[in-house]
Amino acid sequence: MDRSAARTRWGGRRLSTLLTRLTRRNADARVPAPRSNPDAVVDCAVYVTGRREPGRPHFADAYARSRRHRRSFVWLGLHEPDADVLAAVGRTFGLDELAVAQARTDGHRPTAQRHGDVTLLVLRTAGYVEHAELTDTSEVIDTGDVMVFLGDRFVITVRHGATGALTRVRAGIERRPGLLAAGPWAVAYAVCDRMVDLYLEVAGHLESDLERVEESVFARDRRADIQHIYQLKREVVEFKRAVLPLAAPLRAVREQRVGGPPPALHRWFVDVEGRLTRAVDRVSSADELLNSMLQARLAQLAVDQNNDMRKIAAWAAIAATQTAVAGVYGMNFDHMPELGWRYGYPVALLVMAVAGVTLHRLFRRSGWL
């Protein structure tokens, strides 16, 4: 009886252990392993009533979670994603295929487009490149792209280029939950605000460079090389392509009636437009100043060339008198009394010297030499 009872108890424990293992295995099979975001994902977060939820979930899980809450959305940040990542993001969030293809490359003009229920806002980034001195190959301004996809429950930022990182934007707006509670358009405002701040910062550095170039152009020794001015002109033109076309998309976004920013954010976008106008004015002034300096340097080069030509003409005139006297004495006619004169040679040299000195003094007095 004791042995039978022991076998029964041992068999019961073994069956219980087996059932426990099967239960755990089935539970593990029902709960999928957490997915990790691709390398192109800089950050991904779900925001509920303006506050970030803990963790950094996969963008598909984050979007599914945001759809379960009324006042929530997901912010997905991408940096130079490849075609496969963008295709997966497009399928998850229901993005337009043409807009996804546009996000694969950089160099786009600032614009605002509407694709169904999604708004695509394209902005250009700008950053100042520090340099010891300006040369004919100096890179002064580095530009890139930021594309912002705005939906009802999501905002996706796709960045190309090294400049215009949005880490500071995310950290700054997360400290303002009241503003972030306005939804995805609050992120769009923060991104636009950051881009305009960069424009004003670059414009300040650019004005300092222009002051140094202006001093060298109008200095007495005129050290400025026209190739350096032209290189700076090219950099300013690239900067203008980033700043000037943004005014129209911002105005269109602010005036967008369907799917646009909520009324609470209108005054914030108006503030961004005002500061963008200041940036446009500063960039336009820098471009006009560069045009003036370029024309002034060209005029200086023309004056220098004219002075060189006058010097050449003056020395040619001085040499012509010597050539004339020597040419007359070199004809060797039979009836030339000077040929038999004892003092003919020194007198000829004296005439040549006096003529050369006289012409030299006349040209110096007139400013040709």
Phi and psi torsions of 146, nearest 5°: -135, 120
Secondary structure letter of residue 363 according to DSSP: H
Domain count within the chain? 3
Same domain, 160 and 266: yes
Q: What angle do CA 174, 124, 50 make, to 5 degrees?
A: 15
Low-confidence ranges of the chain (pLDDT < 70): 1-34, 220-224, 330-341
Q: Identify the sign of the CA torsion 101, 105, 108, 110.
A: positive
Question: What pLDDT was estimated at residue 30?
Answer: 45
What is the pLDDT at residue 335? 62
Q: How far, in Å, CA of 24 to CA of 17, rounded?
A: 11
Same-domain pairing of 52 and 21:
no
Assess whether 248 and 359 both reside in one domain: no
CA distance 145 to 163: 9
Residue 36 included in any domain: no
**Count of Cβ atoms closer than 10 Å to residue 367 Cβ:** 9
Q: Which domain holds residue 178?
A: 41-302
In this structure, the answer to whether residues 221 and 123 fall within a common structural domain is: yes
Pairing verdict, β 111-115 and 72-79: unpaired
Do 184 and 217 lie in one domain? The reply is yes
Report the DSSP beta bridge partners of residue 126. Answer: 143
Q: What is the pLDDT of residue 333?
A: 64
Q: Give helix then strand counts, H and E, for the chain.
A: 11, 7
Same domain for 243 and 352? Answer: no
240-284 per-position pLDDT tens digit: 999 999 999 999 988 887 778 898 899 999 999 999 999 999 999
311 and 288 within one domain: no
pLDDT tens per residue, range 128-148? 988 877 777 778 889 999 999
Give the domain CATH number at 344. 1.20.58.340
Q: Identify any residues that bridge with 48 across adjacent strands, giving them in sequence order.
A: 51, 72
Question: Are both 152 and 111 inside the same structural domain?
Answer: yes
Say how many C-beta atoms besides its own lie within 10 A of residue 161's C-beta. Answer: 19
pLDDT digits (tens, 9 = 90+) for 176-197: 999 999 999 999 999 999 999 9
Contact 184, 155 (CB under 8 A): yes
